[in-house]
Amino acid sequence: MMVLDRIEEGKLVLLDDAGHKTELLPDAVSGPYAEGDVMVPAPDGRWQADPAATARRREQNARLLEKVLRRGR
């Protein structure tokens, strides 16, 4: 899974699950995107955000954070 980690110096920085970095220019992405989005290959050969995968990832992260915070009480 590739996630848009940040945008810096005009480039999109994607990280995979192992922490490997890929840098893209904005014209390599079709459609809207934001930091934290899960990015997938688009049919036109560029990348695009996957809203459903992004929502699932954010929900998983929220559950994990809640679990960690409960342990600290």
* Confidence at residue 31, expressed as pLDDT on a 0 to 100 scale: 93
| Per-residue model confidence as pLDDT tens digits over 4-53 | 999 999 999 999 999 999 999 999 999 999 999 999 999 999 999 999 99
**pLDDT higher than 90, residue 60:** yes
Place of tokens 């809203």: 51
Q: Are 11 and 23 in contact (CB under 8 A)?
A: yes
Cα separation values, 73 from 51, 66, 69, Å: 33, 11, 7
Total residues found in the chain within this entry: 73
Percentage with pLDDT > 90 across the chain: 96
* Confidence at residue 72, expressed as pLDDT on a 0 to 100 scale: 72
| Cα(12)–Cα(15) distance, integer angstroms | 10
Q: What is the mean pLDDT of the chain?
A: 95
